Chain A
Amino acid sequence: MIEVQNLTKNYGNYQALKGISFSVKKGEILGFLGPNGAGKTTTMRILTGFFPATSGSATVAGFNVFEEPIEVKKRIGYLPENVPLYRDMAVSDYLRFAAGVKGIKKHDIGDRVKKVMEDCALSDVSCKLIGELSKGYRQRVGLAQALVNDPDVLILDEPTIGLDPKQIIEIRKLIKNLAGKRTVILSTHILPEVSMTCQRVVIINKGEVIAVDTPQNLTSRIQGGNKLLLKIDGDSNAVLKGLQTIRGIGKVEKREASIGSVSEYIIEIKEGEDPRKEIAPQIVKNNWGLLEMRSVEMSLEDIFIKLVTKE
Protein backbone atom coordinates (compact mmCIF):
# COMPACT_ATOMS: atom_id res chain seq x y z
CA MET A 1 0.00 0.00 0.00
CA ILE A 2 2.81 2.36 0.89
CA GLU A 3 6.30 2.06 -0.55
CA VAL A 4 9.06 4.38 0.54
CA GLN A 5 12.48 4.12 -1.04
CA ASN A 6 15.65 5.98 -0.18
CA LEU A 7 13.88 9.09 0.88
CA THR A 8 16.10 12.04 1.76
CA LYS A 9 15.19 15.53 2.79
CA ASN A 10 17.49 18.47 3.34
CA TYR A 11 16.57 21.65 5.17
CA GLY A 12 19.33 23.93 3.96
CA ASN A 13 22.50 22.22 5.09
CA TYR A 14 20.73 20.08 7.64
CA GLN A 15 19.91 16.59 6.46
CA ALA A 16 16.68 15.56 8.19
CA LEU A 17 16.24 12.26 6.35
CA LYS A 18 19.21 10.21 5.22
CA GLY A 19 17.69 7.65 2.93
CA ILE A 20 14.69 6.03 4.56
CA SER A 21 13.08 2.91 3.08
CA PHE A 22 10.17 0.90 4.34
CA SER A 23 6.86 -0.50 3.14
CA VAL A 24 3.44 -0.98 4.64
CA LYS A 25 1.03 -3.70 3.61
CA LYS A 26 -2.66 -3.15 3.14
CA GLY A 27 -4.59 -3.23 6.39
CA GLU A 28 -1.51 -2.98 8.55
CA ILE A 29 -0.95 -0.61 11.46
CA LEU A 30 2.62 0.61 11.38
CA GLY A 31 4.17 2.39 14.32
CA PHE A 32 6.69 5.06 13.60
CA LEU A 33 8.93 5.40 16.56
CA GLY A 34 11.73 7.79 17.27
CA PRO A 35 12.95 10.54 19.54
CA ASN A 36 12.11 14.16 18.80
CA GLY A 37 13.80 15.39 15.64
CA ALA A 38 14.30 11.90 14.27
CA GLY A 39 12.43 12.69 11.06
CA LYS A 40 9.00 11.23 11.79
CA THR A 41 7.04 14.34 10.90
CA THR A 42 9.21 15.04 7.87
CA THR A 43 8.53 11.56 6.49
CA MET A 44 4.80 11.97 7.06
CA ARG A 45 4.73 15.37 5.40
CA ILE A 46 6.43 13.92 2.36
CA LEU A 47 3.95 11.03 2.22
CA THR A 48 1.00 13.41 2.42
CA GLY A 49 2.39 15.61 -0.32
CA PHE A 50 2.79 18.67 1.87
CA PHE A 51 6.32 19.09 0.58
CA PRO A 52 8.48 17.01 -1.73
CA ALA A 53 11.52 14.99 -0.77
CA THR A 54 15.01 16.00 -1.86
CA SER A 55 15.51 12.58 -3.44
CA GLY A 56 14.03 9.11 -3.36
CA SER A 57 10.54 7.91 -4.15
CA ALA A 58 7.29 7.30 -2.31
CA THR A 59 4.13 5.65 -3.58
CA VAL A 60 0.80 5.46 -1.82
CA ALA A 61 -1.88 3.10 -3.14
CA GLY A 62 0.05 2.78 -6.37
CA PHE A 63 0.34 6.51 -7.04
CA ASN A 64 3.63 8.33 -6.91
CA VAL A 65 3.42 11.09 -4.33
CA PHE A 66 5.47 13.50 -6.42
CA GLU A 67 3.89 12.85 -9.80
CA GLU A 68 0.22 12.43 -8.92
CA PRO A 69 -0.20 14.26 -5.61
CA ILE A 70 -3.91 14.88 -6.07
CA GLU A 71 -4.65 11.15 -6.55
CA VAL A 72 -2.64 10.37 -3.42
CA LYS A 73 -4.30 13.11 -1.41
CA LYS A 74 -7.73 11.76 -2.31
CA ARG A 75 -6.83 8.46 -0.66
CA ILE A 76 -5.28 9.59 2.58
CA GLY A 77 -6.47 11.04 5.82
CA TYR A 78 -3.86 13.06 7.65
CA LEU A 79 -3.72 14.27 11.22
CA PRO A 80 -0.79 16.64 11.71
CA GLU A 81 1.03 16.74 15.00
CA ASN A 82 -0.39 19.86 16.61
CA VAL A 83 -3.83 19.41 15.03
CA PRO A 84 -4.13 22.71 13.17
CA LEU A 85 -7.83 23.52 12.73
CA TYR A 86 -9.81 26.63 11.88
CA ARG A 87 -10.69 28.01 15.27
CA ASP A 88 -13.46 30.23 13.99
CA MET A 89 -15.44 27.42 12.37
CA ALA A 90 -18.09 25.24 13.98
CA VAL A 91 -17.25 21.54 14.21
CA SER A 92 -19.91 20.36 11.78
CA ASP A 93 -19.21 23.21 9.33
CA TYR A 94 -15.56 22.33 9.31
CA LEU A 95 -16.20 18.64 8.76
CA ARG A 96 -18.62 19.45 5.94
CA PHE A 97 -15.95 21.64 4.39
CA ALA A 98 -13.31 18.92 4.71
CA ALA A 99 -15.69 16.32 3.25
CA GLY A 100 -16.49 18.59 0.31
CA VAL A 101 -12.89 19.42 -0.48
CA LYS A 102 -11.99 15.74 -0.25
CA GLY A 103 -14.48 15.03 -2.98
CA ILE A 104 -17.47 13.52 -1.16
CA LYS A 105 -20.60 13.97 -3.25
CA LYS A 106 -22.88 16.72 -2.11
CA HIS A 107 -25.82 14.58 -1.04
CA ASP A 108 -23.53 12.16 0.84
CA ILE A 109 -21.81 14.84 2.89
CA GLY A 110 -24.49 15.00 5.57
CA ASP A 111 -24.41 11.25 6.20
CA ARG A 112 -20.63 11.02 6.19
CA VAL A 113 -20.24 13.90 8.63
CA LYS A 114 -22.87 12.44 10.92
CA LYS A 115 -21.14 9.06 10.83
CA VAL A 116 -17.65 10.37 11.71
CA MET A 117 -19.07 12.60 14.41
CA GLU A 118 -20.63 9.54 15.98
CA ASP A 119 -17.46 7.48 15.57
CA CYS A 120 -15.36 10.17 17.18
CA ALA A 121 -17.97 11.05 19.85
CA LEU A 122 -18.39 14.61 18.63
CA SER A 123 -22.15 14.74 18.22
CA ASP A 124 -22.75 16.81 21.33
CA VAL A 125 -20.30 19.55 20.31
CA SER A 126 -21.23 19.73 16.63
CA CYS A 127 -22.39 23.36 16.81
CA LYS A 128 -19.52 24.67 18.92
CA LEU A 129 -16.65 26.66 17.47
CA ILE A 130 -13.47 24.62 17.29
CA GLY A 131 -11.58 27.34 19.16
CA GLU A 132 -13.81 26.78 22.19
CA LEU A 133 -13.13 23.06 22.44
CA SER A 134 -10.76 21.36 24.84
CA LYS A 135 -7.61 19.73 23.54
CA GLY A 136 -9.14 16.27 23.65
CA TYR A 137 -12.13 17.30 21.56
CA ARG A 138 -9.91 19.15 19.09
CA GLN A 139 -7.85 16.00 18.69
CA ARG A 140 -11.02 14.11 17.90
CA VAL A 141 -12.10 16.73 15.38
CA GLY A 142 -8.68 16.29 13.79
CA LEU A 143 -9.21 12.56 13.62
CA ALA A 144 -12.73 13.06 12.28
CA GLN A 145 -11.53 15.25 9.41
CA ALA A 146 -8.92 12.62 8.55
CA LEU A 147 -11.61 9.92 8.48
CA VAL A 148 -14.36 11.87 6.79
CA ASN A 149 -13.60 10.69 3.24
CA ASP A 150 -13.25 7.07 4.38
CA PRO A 151 -9.61 6.96 3.22
CA ASP A 152 -7.60 3.83 2.45
CA VAL A 153 -4.57 5.23 4.22
CA LEU A 154 -4.45 7.07 7.51
CA ILE A 155 -1.39 8.99 8.54
CA LEU A 156 -1.50 10.10 12.16
CA ASP A 157 1.26 12.19 13.67
CA GLU A 158 1.25 11.64 17.44
CA PRO A 159 -2.50 11.09 17.69
CA THR A 160 -2.72 10.71 21.47
CA ILE A 161 -0.44 13.52 22.58
CA GLY A 162 -1.98 15.84 25.15
CA LEU A 163 -5.00 13.67 25.92
CA ASP A 164 -6.08 12.40 29.31
CA PRO A 165 -5.74 8.65 29.99
CA LYS A 166 -9.39 7.92 29.30
CA GLN A 167 -9.30 9.73 25.98
CA ILE A 168 -6.05 7.99 25.06
CA ILE A 169 -7.69 4.61 25.57
CA GLU A 170 -10.67 5.71 23.46
CA ILE A 171 -8.51 6.99 20.61
CA ARG A 172 -6.40 3.83 20.65
CA LYS A 173 -9.51 1.72 20.50
CA LEU A 174 -10.74 3.82 17.61
CA ILE A 175 -7.47 3.38 15.74
CA LYS A 176 -7.44 -0.35 16.41
CA ASN A 177 -10.96 -0.64 15.05
CA LEU A 178 -9.76 0.93 11.82
CA ALA A 179 -7.26 -1.86 11.23
CA GLY A 180 -8.00 -4.43 8.60
CA LYS A 181 -9.92 -2.07 6.38
CA ARG A 182 -7.39 0.69 6.36
CA THR A 183 -3.66 1.06 6.34
CA VAL A 184 -2.47 3.18 9.22
CA ILE A 185 0.86 4.82 9.92
CA LEU A 186 1.09 6.41 13.32
CA SER A 187 4.04 8.14 14.83
CA THR A 188 4.65 8.38 18.51
CA HIS A 189 7.30 8.52 21.12
CA ILE A 190 5.06 6.86 23.68
CA LEU A 191 6.23 3.28 23.59
CA PRO A 192 3.38 1.33 25.18
CA GLU A 193 1.18 2.81 22.48
CA VAL A 194 3.14 0.99 19.83
CA SER A 195 3.02 -2.38 21.54
CA MET A 196 -0.70 -1.89 22.13
CA THR A 197 -1.84 -0.78 18.71
CA CYS A 198 0.76 -1.58 16.09
CA GLN A 199 1.54 -4.76 14.21
CA ARG A 200 4.89 -3.54 13.05
CA VAL A 201 7.35 -0.92 14.25
CA VAL A 202 9.80 1.21 12.34
CA ILE A 203 12.32 2.80 14.65
CA ILE A 204 14.08 5.81 13.22
CA ASN A 205 16.75 7.98 14.71
CA LYS A 206 18.60 10.94 13.19
CA GLY A 207 16.97 10.41 9.81
CA GLU A 208 17.80 6.72 9.49
CA VAL A 209 15.79 3.54 9.97
CA ILE A 210 17.49 1.53 12.67
CA ALA A 211 15.02 -1.32 13.08
CA VAL A 212 11.85 -2.70 11.47
CA ASP A 213 10.03 -5.58 13.14
CA THR A 214 7.00 -6.59 15.21
CA PRO A 215 7.04 -5.32 18.78
CA GLN A 216 7.33 -8.93 20.08
CA ASN A 217 10.25 -9.81 17.82
CA LEU A 218 12.07 -6.66 18.73
CA THR A 219 11.75 -7.50 22.39
CA SER A 220 13.07 -11.02 22.05
CA ARG A 221 15.75 -10.07 19.53
CA ILE A 222 17.42 -7.53 21.69
CA GLN A 223 16.80 -9.06 25.06
CA GLY A 224 19.20 -11.97 24.61
CA GLY A 225 19.06 -13.81 27.94
CA ASN A 226 16.62 -13.41 30.80
CA LYS A 227 17.24 -11.27 33.81
CA LEU A 228 16.21 -11.59 37.42
CA LEU A 229 15.78 -8.91 39.99
CA LEU A 230 16.52 -9.82 43.61
CA LYS A 231 16.06 -7.77 46.73
CA ILE A 232 18.20 -9.17 49.51
CA ASP A 233 18.89 -8.11 53.07
CA GLY A 234 22.54 -8.86 53.77
CA ASP A 235 26.09 -7.60 53.37
CA SER A 236 26.32 -6.66 49.71
CA ASN A 237 29.88 -7.84 49.08
CA ALA A 238 29.11 -11.23 50.52
CA VAL A 239 25.88 -11.42 48.53
CA LEU A 240 27.62 -10.54 45.26
CA LYS A 241 30.21 -13.23 45.88
CA GLY A 242 27.68 -15.79 47.07
CA LEU A 243 25.35 -15.34 44.09
CA GLN A 244 28.15 -15.73 41.59
CA THR A 245 28.88 -19.25 42.79
CA ILE A 246 25.47 -20.53 41.69
CA ARG A 247 25.49 -22.48 38.43
CA GLY A 248 23.81 -20.77 35.47
CA ILE A 249 24.24 -17.24 36.71
CA GLY A 250 26.19 -14.84 34.52
CA LYS A 251 26.83 -11.30 35.52
CA VAL A 252 25.57 -9.99 38.87
CA GLU A 253 25.07 -6.30 39.26
CA LYS A 254 24.15 -4.28 42.30
CA ARG A 255 21.53 -1.69 41.57
CA GLU A 256 21.35 1.73 43.21
CA ALA A 257 22.35 2.55 46.77
CA SER A 258 21.24 0.20 49.49
CA ILE A 259 18.78 1.16 52.19
CA GLY A 260 20.32 -0.11 55.41
CA SER A 261 21.54 -3.55 54.51
CA VAL A 262 18.90 -4.13 51.82
CA SER A 263 20.09 -3.97 48.20
CA GLU A 264 18.72 -4.79 44.76
CA TYR A 265 20.64 -7.01 42.37
CA ILE A 266 20.18 -7.68 38.69
CA ILE A 267 21.25 -11.14 37.63
CA GLU A 268 21.79 -12.24 34.07
CA ILE A 269 20.84 -15.85 33.49
CA LYS A 270 22.79 -17.92 31.01
CA GLU A 271 20.93 -19.30 28.04
CA GLY A 272 19.02 -22.54 28.83
CA GLU A 273 19.59 -22.49 32.57
CA ASP A 274 17.15 -21.88 35.40
CA PRO A 275 19.00 -21.17 38.65
CA ARG A 276 15.95 -19.85 40.47
CA LYS A 277 15.51 -22.99 42.54
CA GLU A 278 19.04 -22.74 43.85
CA ILE A 279 19.00 -19.09 44.70
CA ALA A 280 16.62 -19.32 47.64
CA PRO A 281 18.48 -22.09 49.51
CA GLN A 282 21.75 -20.22 48.98
CA ILE A 283 20.25 -17.12 50.56
CA VAL A 284 18.76 -19.03 53.47
CA LYS A 285 22.02 -20.84 54.01
CA ASN A 286 23.87 -17.55 54.40
CA ASN A 287 21.21 -16.21 56.69
CA TRP A 288 20.27 -13.32 54.38
CA GLY A 289 16.71 -12.20 53.92
CA LEU A 290 15.03 -12.64 50.53
CA LEU A 291 12.60 -9.78 50.14
CA GLU A 292 11.80 -10.00 46.44
CA MET A 293 12.56 -12.09 43.41
CA ARG A 294 11.08 -11.47 39.97
CA SER A 295 12.08 -11.78 36.36
CA VAL A 296 12.81 -8.56 34.49
CA GLU A 297 11.23 -8.30 31.07
CA MET A 298 12.77 -5.84 28.76
CA SER A 299 10.21 -3.26 27.81
CA LEU A 300 10.05 -1.62 24.42
CA GLU A 301 11.37 1.39 26.23
CA ASP A 302 14.62 -0.33 27.08
CA ILE A 303 14.93 -1.65 23.55
CA PHE A 304 14.34 1.76 22.17
CA ILE A 305 16.98 3.36 24.32
CA LYS A 306 19.37 0.52 23.56
CA LEU A 307 18.86 0.95 19.82
CA VAL A 308 18.98 4.70 19.81
CA THR A 309 22.06 4.98 21.97
CA LYS A 310 23.87 2.06 20.36
CA GLU A 311 26.54 4.01 18.55
Chain B
Amino acid sequence: MRNFYLIFKKELKSYFTSPIAYVVITIFLVISGYFFYNIIATFATISYQATINPMAAKQYGLLNVTEIVVRPLFGNISMIMLLMMPLLTMRLFSEEKKTGTIELLLTYPITDMQVLLGKFFACLAVYLLMLVLTALYPILIMIYGQPEVGPIITGYIGLFLLGASFISLGIFASSITENQIIAATVAFGALIFFWMLSFSVGLADPAIGKIISYISITEHLEAFAKGVIDTEDIIYYGIFIILFLFLTLRALESNKWRG
Protein backbone atom coordinates (compact mmCIF):
# COMPACT_ATOMS: atom_id res chain seq x y z
CA MET B 1 0.00 0.00 0.00
CA ARG B 2 2.82 2.35 0.91
CA ASN B 3 4.75 1.55 -2.25
CA PHE B 4 1.62 2.17 -4.28
CA TYR B 5 1.22 5.55 -2.62
CA LEU B 6 4.88 6.49 -3.22
CA ILE B 7 4.64 5.68 -6.93
CA PHE B 8 1.32 7.49 -7.13
CA LYS B 9 2.79 10.59 -5.52
CA LYS B 10 5.89 10.54 -7.70
CA GLU B 11 3.90 10.16 -10.93
CA LEU B 12 1.39 12.80 -9.98
CA LYS B 13 4.16 15.22 -9.14
CA SER B 14 5.97 14.55 -12.38
CA TYR B 15 2.80 15.38 -14.33
CA PHE B 16 3.01 18.85 -12.83
CA THR B 17 6.79 19.41 -12.78
CA SER B 18 6.95 18.61 -16.45
CA PRO B 19 4.31 20.85 -17.97
CA ILE B 20 2.35 17.93 -19.49
CA ALA B 21 -0.60 18.23 -17.13
CA TYR B 22 -0.87 22.01 -17.55
CA VAL B 23 -0.73 21.82 -21.34
CA VAL B 24 -3.19 18.97 -21.68
CA ILE B 25 -5.65 20.41 -19.16
CA THR B 26 -5.49 23.89 -20.67
CA ILE B 27 -6.09 22.73 -24.22
CA PHE B 28 -8.80 20.37 -23.08
CA LEU B 29 -10.59 23.23 -21.31
CA VAL B 30 -10.18 25.65 -24.23
CA ILE B 31 -11.67 23.22 -26.73
CA SER B 32 -14.46 21.96 -24.47
CA GLY B 33 -15.22 25.58 -23.55
CA TYR B 34 -15.52 26.44 -27.21
CA PHE B 35 -17.93 23.54 -27.74
CA PHE B 36 -19.93 24.64 -24.71
CA TYR B 37 -20.15 28.19 -26.07
CA ASN B 38 -21.38 26.90 -29.43
CA ILE B 39 -24.00 24.66 -27.91
CA ILE B 40 -25.28 27.45 -25.66
CA ALA B 41 -25.26 30.01 -28.48
CA THR B 42 -27.22 27.66 -30.74
CA PHE B 43 -29.69 26.92 -27.97
CA ALA B 44 -30.17 30.64 -27.32
CA THR B 45 -30.79 31.36 -31.00
CA ILE B 46 -33.33 28.56 -31.31
CA SER B 47 -35.11 29.64 -28.13
CA TYR B 48 -35.26 33.24 -29.33
CA GLN B 49 -36.70 32.19 -32.70
CA ALA B 50 -39.25 29.97 -30.97
CA THR B 51 -40.51 32.84 -28.83
CA ILE B 52 -41.09 35.22 -31.76
CA ASN B 53 -42.22 32.65 -34.31
CA PRO B 54 -44.85 30.06 -33.25
CA MET B 55 -44.30 28.11 -36.49
CA ALA B 56 -40.64 27.63 -35.69
CA ALA B 57 -41.49 26.56 -32.17
CA LYS B 58 -43.69 23.78 -33.56
CA GLN B 59 -40.85 22.71 -35.82
CA TYR B 60 -38.26 22.51 -33.04
CA GLY B 61 -40.56 20.61 -30.72
CA LEU B 62 -39.85 20.64 -27.01
CA LEU B 63 -36.96 22.93 -26.05
CA ASN B 64 -35.28 21.23 -23.15
CA VAL B 65 -31.92 22.33 -21.66
CA THR B 66 -30.98 18.82 -20.62
CA GLU B 67 -31.71 17.39 -24.07
CA ILE B 68 -30.18 20.15 -26.15
CA VAL B 69 -27.30 21.41 -23.99
CA VAL B 70 -26.24 18.85 -21.37
CA ARG B 71 -26.31 15.67 -23.43
CA PRO B 72 -24.38 16.99 -26.43
CA LEU B 73 -21.90 18.56 -24.02
CA PHE B 74 -21.04 15.16 -22.51
CA GLY B 75 -20.73 13.72 -25.99
CA ASN B 76 -18.34 16.47 -26.99
CA ILE B 77 -16.24 16.18 -23.85
CA SER B 78 -15.88 12.44 -24.38
CA MET B 79 -14.65 13.08 -27.93
CA ILE B 80 -12.02 15.64 -26.84
CA MET B 81 -10.94 13.22 -24.16
CA LEU B 82 -10.36 10.57 -26.76
CA LEU B 83 -7.85 12.92 -28.34
CA MET B 84 -6.24 13.99 -25.07
CA MET B 85 -5.98 10.88 -22.93
CA PRO B 86 -3.34 9.07 -25.01
CA LEU B 87 -1.16 12.14 -24.52
CA LEU B 88 -1.42 11.73 -20.77
CA THR B 89 -0.76 8.00 -20.79
CA MET B 90 1.86 7.65 -23.51
CA ARG B 91 4.85 8.45 -21.32
CA LEU B 92 3.95 6.30 -18.32
CA PHE B 93 6.02 3.24 -19.25
CA SER B 94 7.62 4.21 -22.59
CA GLU B 95 9.62 7.01 -21.06
CA GLU B 96 10.91 4.81 -18.26
CA LYS B 97 11.96 2.23 -20.80
CA LYS B 98 13.63 4.72 -23.07
CA THR B 99 15.60 6.47 -20.34
CA GLY B 100 16.32 3.17 -18.58
CA THR B 101 14.79 4.27 -15.28
CA ILE B 102 12.62 1.16 -15.39
CA GLU B 103 15.78 -0.82 -14.62
CA LEU B 104 16.19 0.92 -11.28
CA LEU B 105 12.46 0.88 -10.56
CA LEU B 106 12.19 -2.87 -11.13
CA THR B 107 15.22 -3.58 -8.97
CA TYR B 108 13.64 -1.80 -6.01
CA PRO B 109 11.70 -4.05 -3.65
CA ILE B 110 8.39 -3.31 -5.26
CA THR B 111 5.92 -5.40 -7.26
CA ASP B 112 4.83 -4.74 -10.84
CA MET B 113 1.27 -4.43 -9.58
CA GLN B 114 2.20 -1.58 -7.22
CA VAL B 115 4.01 0.24 -10.01
CA LEU B 116 1.11 -0.21 -12.40
CA LEU B 117 -1.62 0.86 -10.00
CA GLY B 118 0.43 3.83 -8.82
CA LYS B 119 0.76 5.07 -12.38
CA PHE B 120 -2.85 4.28 -13.27
CA PHE B 121 -4.30 6.18 -10.34
CA ALA B 122 -1.92 9.12 -10.80
CA CYS B 123 -3.17 9.52 -14.34
CA LEU B 124 -6.73 9.04 -13.15
CA ALA B 125 -6.21 11.83 -10.62
CA VAL B 126 -5.10 14.23 -13.36
CA TYR B 127 -8.15 13.22 -15.36
CA LEU B 128 -10.38 13.76 -12.36
CA LEU B 129 -9.00 17.27 -12.05
CA MET B 130 -9.89 17.88 -15.70
CA LEU B 131 -13.43 16.71 -15.06
CA VAL B 132 -13.79 18.83 -11.94
CA LEU B 133 -12.74 21.91 -13.91
CA THR B 134 -15.42 21.24 -16.54
CA ALA B 135 -18.01 21.46 -13.77
CA LEU B 136 -18.03 25.18 -14.60
CA TYR B 137 -20.26 24.46 -17.61
CA PRO B 138 -23.13 22.75 -15.77
CA ILE B 139 -22.83 25.38 -13.04
CA LEU B 140 -23.30 28.12 -15.64
CA ILE B 141 -26.29 26.26 -17.08
CA MET B 142 -27.78 25.99 -13.61
CA ILE B 143 -27.40 29.70 -13.01
CA TYR B 144 -29.30 30.63 -16.18
CA GLY B 145 -31.63 27.68 -16.58
CA GLN B 146 -33.18 24.74 -14.81
CA PRO B 147 -31.54 21.58 -16.10
CA GLU B 148 -32.24 18.26 -14.44
CA VAL B 149 -29.46 17.53 -11.93
CA GLY B 150 -29.72 13.73 -12.19
CA PRO B 151 -28.43 13.36 -15.77
CA ILE B 152 -25.57 15.74 -15.02
CA ILE B 153 -24.38 13.58 -12.14
CA THR B 154 -24.80 10.31 -14.00
CA GLY B 155 -23.15 11.89 -17.04
CA TYR B 156 -20.09 12.64 -14.95
CA ILE B 157 -20.05 9.11 -13.57
CA GLY B 158 -20.14 7.89 -17.17
CA LEU B 159 -17.34 10.23 -18.23
CA PHE B 160 -15.26 9.10 -15.27
CA LEU B 161 -15.62 5.44 -16.19
CA LEU B 162 -15.00 6.18 -19.85
CA GLY B 163 -11.83 8.12 -19.00
CA ALA B 164 -10.58 5.34 -16.73
CA SER B 165 -11.06 2.93 -19.64
CA PHE B 166 -9.12 5.23 -21.96
CA ILE B 167 -6.30 5.42 -19.40
CA SER B 168 -6.20 1.68 -18.94
CA LEU B 169 -5.87 1.12 -22.67
CA GLY B 170 -3.33 3.95 -22.97
CA ILE B 171 -1.12 2.49 -20.23
CA PHE B 172 -1.17 -0.85 -21.99
CA ALA B 173 -0.06 0.81 -25.23
CA SER B 174 2.71 2.55 -23.32
CA SER B 175 3.92 -0.70 -21.76
CA ILE B 176 4.54 -2.45 -25.06
CA THR B 177 6.93 0.08 -26.58
CA GLU B 178 9.73 2.41 -25.57
CA ASN B 179 8.64 4.97 -28.15
CA GLN B 180 6.11 7.48 -26.86
CA ILE B 181 4.80 8.31 -30.33
CA ILE B 182 4.08 4.66 -31.03
CA ALA B 183 2.38 4.38 -27.64
CA ALA B 184 0.15 7.36 -28.41
CA THR B 185 -0.61 6.17 -31.95
CA VAL B 186 -1.56 2.67 -30.81
CA ALA B 187 -3.81 4.16 -28.11
CA PHE B 188 -5.47 6.57 -30.58
CA GLY B 189 -5.99 3.78 -33.08
CA ALA B 190 -7.49 1.38 -30.57
CA LEU B 191 -9.77 4.03 -29.02
CA ILE B 192 -11.01 5.28 -32.38
CA PHE B 193 -11.65 1.67 -33.37
CA PHE B 194 -13.75 1.04 -30.26
CA TRP B 195 -15.50 4.33 -30.98
CA MET B 196 -16.28 3.67 -34.63
CA LEU B 197 -17.57 0.18 -34.03
CA SER B 198 -20.94 1.76 -33.36
CA PHE B 199 -21.04 3.13 -36.92
CA SER B 200 -21.41 -0.35 -38.39
CA VAL B 201 -24.21 -1.43 -36.06
CA GLY B 202 -26.88 -0.51 -38.62
CA LEU B 203 -25.13 -2.35 -41.43
CA ALA B 204 -24.69 -5.65 -39.63
CA ASP B 205 -27.12 -8.48 -39.02
CA PRO B 206 -29.31 -7.49 -36.03
CA ALA B 207 -27.87 -10.20 -33.78
CA ILE B 208 -24.28 -9.27 -34.61
CA GLY B 209 -25.19 -5.58 -34.52
CA LYS B 210 -26.23 -6.02 -30.92
CA ILE B 211 -22.89 -7.55 -30.05
CA ILE B 212 -21.00 -4.80 -31.88
CA SER B 213 -22.94 -2.09 -30.12
CA TYR B 214 -22.20 -3.77 -26.81
CA ILE B 215 -18.45 -3.81 -27.56
CA SER B 216 -18.39 -0.19 -28.74
CA ILE B 217 -17.05 2.01 -26.00
CA THR B 218 -19.23 5.08 -26.54
CA GLU B 219 -22.58 3.29 -26.76
CA HIS B 220 -22.31 2.78 -23.02
CA LEU B 221 -21.95 6.47 -22.34
CA GLU B 222 -25.38 7.20 -23.87
CA ALA B 223 -27.34 5.74 -21.01
CA PHE B 224 -25.32 7.67 -18.44
CA ALA B 225 -25.93 10.92 -20.32
CA LYS B 226 -29.65 10.18 -20.26
CA GLY B 227 -29.56 9.80 -16.50
CA VAL B 228 -29.66 6.01 -16.40
CA ILE B 229 -27.16 3.98 -14.38
CA ASP B 230 -27.25 0.51 -15.85
CA THR B 231 -25.16 -2.25 -14.26
CA GLU B 232 -24.53 -3.53 -17.77
CA ASP B 233 -22.60 -0.36 -18.61
CA ILE B 234 -20.71 -0.34 -15.32
CA ILE B 235 -19.70 -3.97 -15.85
CA TYR B 236 -18.60 -3.15 -19.40
CA TYR B 237 -16.28 -0.36 -18.26
CA GLY B 238 -15.09 -2.43 -15.30
CA ILE B 239 -14.13 -5.34 -17.52
CA PHE B 240 -12.49 -3.01 -20.03
CA ILE B 241 -10.33 -1.38 -17.35
CA ILE B 242 -9.32 -4.63 -15.65
CA LEU B 243 -8.60 -6.38 -18.97
CA PHE B 244 -6.11 -3.77 -20.12
CA LEU B 245 -4.49 -3.41 -16.70
CA PHE B 246 -4.05 -7.18 -16.69
CA LEU B 247 -2.54 -7.12 -20.17
CA THR B 248 -0.15 -4.40 -19.02
CA LEU B 249 1.04 -6.58 -16.15
CA ARG B 250 1.67 -9.40 -18.62
CA ALA B 251 3.55 -7.03 -20.91
CA LEU B 252 5.77 -5.87 -18.03
CA GLU B 253 6.51 -9.46 -17.15
CA SER B 254 7.28 -10.46 -20.72
CA ASN B 255 9.82 -7.64 -20.99
CA LYS B 256 11.78 -9.32 -18.25
CA TRP B 257 11.76 -12.71 -19.87
CA ARG B 258 12.66 -11.43 -23.28
CA GLY B 259 15.63 -9.54 -21.85
Q: A9-B259, A86-B14, A88-B18 are in contact. Are A100 and B2 (CB under 8 A)?
A: yes
- A1 vs B259: C-alpha distance when bound (angstroms): 26
- A82 vs B103: C-alpha distance when bound (angstroms): 11
Q: Using a CB-CB cutoff of 8 Å, which residues 61-103 of chain A contact chain B?
A: 70-71, 73-74, 76, 78, 80, 82, 84-89, 93, 97-98, 100-103
Question: Which listed residue (B99, B106, B108, B111) contacts A98, Cβ 8 A?
Answer: B108
A34 on the interface (CB 8 Å rule)?
no
A84 contacts B103, CB within 8 Å?
Answer: yes
Q: Mark B237-256, 1 if CB is under 8 A from A, else 0.
A: 00000000000000000001
B104 on the interface (CB 8 Å rule)?
yes
Question: Which listed residue (A51, A71, A97, A145) contacts B256, Cβ 8 A?
Answer: A51
Q: A51-B257, A100-B6 are in contact. Are A80 and B103 (CB under 8 A)?
A: yes
Residues of B within 8 A of A78 (CB): 104, 107
Q: A48-B107, A80-B100, A97-B6 are in contact. Are A89 and B14 (CB under 8 A)?
A: yes
Q: A45-B103, A50-B103 are in contact. Are A89 and B111 (CB under 8 A)?
A: no
- A240 vs B3: C-alpha distance when bound (angstroms): 73
A80 contacts B104, CB within 8 Å?
Answer: yes
Residues of A within 8 A of B106 (CB): 49-50
Q: A50-B256, A51-B257, A51-B259 are in contact. Are A88 and B108 (CB under 8 A)?
A: no
B104 contacts A70, CB within 8 Å?
Answer: no
Prevailing SS type, chain B contact patch: helix
B256 contacts A74, CB within 8 Å?
Answer: no
Q: Mark B183-222, 1 if CB is under 8 A from A, else 0.
A: 0000000000000000000000000000000000000000
B108 contacts A52, CB within 8 Å?
Answer: no
A102 contacts B109, CB within 8 Å?
Answer: yes
- A48 vs B14: C-alpha distance when bound (angstroms): 26
B100 contacts A84, CB within 8 Å?
Answer: yes
Interface residues of B (CB under 8 A from A): 2-3, 6-7, 9-10, 13-14, 17-18, 99-104, 106-111, 256-257, 259
| Pairs of residues from A and B, 3 with the lowest C-beta to C-beta distance, nearest first | A84-B100, A73-B109, A48-B107
